[in-house]
Structure 1
Amino acid sequence: MRRTALRARAACFLKESSVAKVYKADETFNHELLAGASCAFGVFDGVHRGHRFLIGEAVKTARESGGISAVLTFDIDPDERFHAERLKKLMSNERRIEALAETGVDVVVVLPFTAEFSSQEPSAFLDALFKGAVPYAMHVGSDFRFGARAAGTVADLEAWGARDGMHVCAHDLKSADGRPITATRIRLLLADGECEQACALLGHPYVFEGAVLKGRGEGTDMGFATANISLPSMMQVLGEAVYAAYATVDGVRYKAAMSVGVAPTFADATATCEVHILDFAGEIYGDIIQIEPVHYLRPMIKFESVDELIATVKSNIQWVRENL
């Protein structure tokens, strides 16, 4: 009876639009929202096909049980707190949460990953998360870990949930080509310039964004101005190379040719991301633009002369114009 009543109370939170409402689980959050809910719990970097399968299972369970579906995630990747110097991410935290809200769930609950919260032992971690409002079902990966030092396992989650009849559904990783779909696998593909394969596993385009900075100016002098993009180290996933891409500026999508890495022809060059946006003219210094690399064109190479460099870059731009 209690679980049925809680589900009925939670029904008022159901969304009317296709985008889920996002809640921050701070001191103002009403934990009763999660009572009787069907939840998917994880970081979900990239919100790839494997993640979407897991979230889809939570949606399916919610329809069967009559409760709401919810994604539980953190406001940052936990490794940003523990291993920031070596972390690489497919999505910014903001875009990840936006993407999760577009997966068809009713709500997304964002947990502040504070030092205090992350240092709790597994059972205390769950008590603090739900505060007595126990979900109907919890969908996680079979390798799910939680609590201080990632000590909590699926078995610990099952033991905790058994007190109130919570169903724990641990799923093996979804596979493609005989191998599990993981964010690590996708990041490695992008590091090798395999944009098409990475996007196939993501189930959507790989897109990153960055602020446009003033560059060295060589591109303008040679007849193809470039936007120099500033990226935090943890977002520098794509391998050094030249790519065919799309650039979105003020909501308009343009064809683009992009280089990632050090331009070896120039001795004093530093690593950068430079984007030539076809058929675009405008002042965008300081603006945030989105880049969608779609095809590897060539490695970064040292040219014997500036004329050879210009001819090659113009050939790359022409390929983009004719093939995208």
Structure 2
Amino acid sequence: MKIYRSLEEIPFEKETCLTLGTFDGIHLGHQEIIRSLTRAVNGTGRSVLLTFSPHPQKIVGGDDKLCLLTTLEEKQHILKSLGIDALLIMSFNPRLASQPPRDFIMEIVRNVGVRCFFIGFNHAFGKDRTGDEKLLNQVGDQCGFKVAVIPPVLVHGETVSSTRIRRKLHQGLVQEAALMLGRPYCVEGKVVRGHGLGHRIGFPTANIRVSDRDKLIPGHGVYAVQVHYRRRSFSGMCYIGFRPTVNGHSKGIEVHVLGTVEDLYQQRLRVLFLNRIREEKKFESVDRLREQINEDKLRVKQLLSSVNE
């Protein structure tokens, strides 16, 4: 997959099948658009996905606290696995945000070349999100490209969307989120020094500092997870929260790896969330906390053994 950073950089190819959007999460709905896109190429021309960085809501809506499902690096990795020929990453800035949608599409056509435009059923783009299927068809009639609108993907009667997945993750519903993503949700980061409480009570943990500050962290609680480290995979349990039993004041992400593993300090870990086993809770003592963690560990082992059967 070739990666380009501007409209001026990407070579012109009139037989281009193109889609555009933020594609945060690259969930099942996005994947259906991408499959339709790559099938349409059929050995002639190329498939191009145009996306934006930073997320447009951070510029247009001023939502600096927006949490993302995928970092740009994760997005590139997933798109490569889905068979996209070229990824065009445009810098989203106030100039682009104020550009009328017709002008934006015409600029794409002139610089990239388009044979067919693929969009989701509710896609809107351009200034004030006034660009839509109707406008694309009008420009397509003028410029000679077709427009394909991909219907929604439903999971248990719910339309798959990035917003809905974010909401589920904030609620700790990682299994439901995984069904919509088509894979377990994950975070990645470096192991840093913690307060050492886990080690003192018999459950040493790796304290993770997530690499991207915009990355969404699931809701507080204890989770059954898989930990990927140096191309190896380990079962584990992950705690997210403020450590209320010891009057903690900062949010932390701690992973206890099941089984023997080397010192992970300063190493990069990738944590896949499989199931939440309980919410965050304040215990009356550290001894009671230790007992609960032991119960959590047994439950995580049971859950993960059933998954691996």
How does the TM-score come out when normalised to structure 2?
A: 0.90
Q: Which residue of 1 aligns with 2:268?
A: 288
SS for the counterpart of 2:214 is helix
Matches within 5 A, 1:132-151: 132-151=111-130
Query: How far does the alpha carbon of each residue in 1:178-215 deviate from its partner, in whole angstroms, 9 at most, with x for none?
Result: 22111111122222222222111111121111222211
Aligned amino acid, residue 298 of structure 1? R
Residue type of the partner of 1:234? D
Q: What is the RMSD of the two structures over their aligned residues, measured on CA atoms?
A: 2.0
CA distance in 1 between partners of 2:294 and 2:243 (Å): 16
Q: Identify unmatched segments of 5+ residues in structure 2.
A: 305-309
1:66 equivalent to 2:44? Answer: yes
1:294-305 maps to which residues of 2 (within 5 A)? Answer: 294-305=274-285
Q: How does 1:53-92 map to 2 (within 5 A)?
A: 53-63=32-42, 66-82=44-60, 83-92=62-71
Residues 288-322 of structure 1: per-residue CA shift (max 9 Å, x gap): 21110101111111111111111111221233234
Confirm whether residue 24 of structure 1 aligns to residue 5 of structure 2.
yes
Report the more deviating stretch, 20-29 or 201-210.
20-29
Structural mapping, 1:1-324, within 5 Å: 20-25=1-6, 27-30=8-11, 32-33=12-13, 35-63=14-42, 66-82=44-60, 83-231=62-210, 232=212, 234-324=214-304
1:261-287 per-position Cα deviation (integer Å, ceiling 9, x unaligned) = 111101133211111112244343333
Contact kept in structure 1, 2:242 and 2:248, CA below 8 Å: no
Say if 2:7 and 2:108, in contact at 8 Å, map to a contact too: no
What letter matches 1:78 in structure 2? P
- Is residue 170–residue 217 contact of structure 2 (8 Å, CA) maintained in 1? yes
Q: Is the 8 A contact 2:186 2:273 kept in 1?
A: yes
Quote the offset at 1:250 in angstroms.
1.9
Greater mean alpha carbon deviation, residues 74-83 or residues 44-53 = 74-83
- The residue aligned with 1:4 is none
How far, CA to CA, are the matches of 2:80 and 2:94 in structure 1?
26
Q: Deviations over 1:114-147 (max 9, x none)?
A: 3333332212222333325431100101322222
Cα separation, 1, equivalents of 2:286 and 2:163: 38
Distance across 2 between alignment mates of 1:57 and 1:317: 43
**Aligned residue pair count:** 302
Contact 1:245 1:291 in 2 (8 A): yes
- Alignment identity in percent? 27
* Gap regions ≥5 residues in structure 1: 1-19
